[in-house]
């Protein structure tokens, strides 16, 4: 009798174990299926928002215009500042190149040279030459402008990484407004902004003080590769006749 019960109990245990195993396999299959659906949906959402393009696109492209235009009138218009500056998106950067010319430049340019180029083509004035101070062009542009708070920024205002007295390397860019609620600057960036064939850097539009990369101009035209952010902390307004 005890042997029969023992045998009977063993069969019940085996069947119970098999049922648990089958149920466990089913749960794993369903869990794997759900995880796969979540991954597929997440990839779809990221791709739809262009995140893969922002992160993985390496070719140098820009869907906006690079057709030069002559400004109308004697005053500098903020909208023209944005249009003129964006003509040079993906233009090559080179430290120490600050040649200021009318029209689209052939040679690369550095950060201060780019700012001077924009305002020279809009006003006929080289911003860094509008002061008697000496020193780097970035310092002279600082002296040719007046301070503004971040909350007061308007298109065409200038951002600086450092004050002129700092012993660290300064950087400079032009405020362009906001993209997707984030303040952005256009600037001639160095090696951190390099791309294929542009090993020393290029002109890009970057989110300011953000961890996100940007790949759009202020009109929604895309450029690639996407640009890393900037850290402009000091803001100034050029001493020019600028109208809204």
Ordered per-residue pLDDT tens for the chain, 244 residues: 555 545 555 676 677 677 777 777 877 888 878 888 787 776 655 554 555 565 666 789 999 999 999 988 778 999 999 999 999 999 999 998 888 999 999 999 999 999 999 999 999 999 999 988 888 999 999 999 999 999 999 999 999 999 988 888 899 999 999 999 999 999 999 999 999 999 999 999 999 999 899 999 999 999 999 999 999 999 999 999 999 8
Residues 184, 205 within the same domain: yes
Indicate the SS3 state at residue 187. Answer: strand
Are 187 and 203 spatial neighbours (Cβ–Cβ below 8 Å)? yes
Residues 94, 41 within the same domain: no
Q: Is residue 231 part of a domain?
A: yes
Residues 170, 143 within the same domain: yes
Residues 28, 127 within the same domain: no
Which among 61, 53, 71, 184 is positioned nearest to 118, based on CA atoms? 71
| CATH number where 107 lies | 3.90.1720.10
Q: Is residue 20 part of a domain?
A: yes
Range(s) of the domain holding residue 38: 2-49
Q: Is residue 55 part of a domain?
A: no
Residues 101, 210 within the same domain: yes
Domain count, the chain: 2
Q: Is residue 54 part of a domain?
A: no
Q: Is residue 64 part of a domain?
A: yes
Task: Give the strand pairing for 234-238 and 242-243.
Answer: unpaired
Rounded distance, CA 133 to CA 154, Å?
26
Residues 34, 66 within the same domain: no
Residues 161, 238 within the same domain: yes
Are 93 and 188 spatial neighbours (Cβ–Cβ below 8 Å)? yes
- Between the alpha carbon of residue 187 and those of residues 29, 114, 151, 210, the distances in Å are 52, 7, 20, 15
Residues 26, 87 within the same domain: no
Residues 95, 15 within the same domain: no
Residues 11, 98 within the same domain: no
Are 153 and 76 spatial neighbours (Cβ–Cβ below 8 Å)? no
């Amino acid at each position: 009798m005890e042997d029969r019960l023992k045998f009977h109990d063993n069969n019940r245990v085996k069947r119970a174990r098999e049922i648990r195993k089958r149920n466990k396999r089913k749960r794993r299959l369903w869990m794997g299926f759900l995880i796969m659906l979540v991954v597929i949906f997440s990839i779809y959402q990221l791709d739809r928002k262009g995140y893969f393009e922002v992160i993985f696109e390496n070719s140098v492209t820009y869907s906006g215009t690079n057709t030069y235009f002559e400004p109308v009138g004697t005053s500098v218009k903020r909208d023209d500042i944005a249009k003129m500056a964006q003509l040079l998106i993906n233009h090559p950067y080179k430290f120490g190149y600050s040649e200021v010319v009318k029209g689209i430049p052939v040679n690369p340019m550095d950060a201060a040279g780019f700012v001077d180029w924009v305002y020279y083509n809009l006003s006929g004035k080289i911003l860094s030459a509008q002061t008697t101070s000496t020193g780097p062009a970035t310092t002279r542009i600082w002296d040719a402008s007046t301070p503004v708070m971040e909350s007061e920024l308007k298109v065409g205002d200038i951002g600086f990484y450092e004050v002129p007295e700092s012993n660290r390397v300064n950087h400079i860019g032009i405020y362009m407004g906001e993209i997707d609620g984030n303040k952005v600057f256009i600037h001639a960036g160095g090696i951190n902004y390099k791309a294929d064939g542009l090993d020393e850097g290029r002109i890009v539009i970057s989110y300011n003080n953000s961890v996100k990369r940007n790949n759009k101009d202020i009109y929604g035209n895309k450029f690639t590769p996407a640009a890393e952010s900037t850290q402009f902390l000091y803001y100034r307004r050029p001493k020019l006749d600028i109208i809204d």
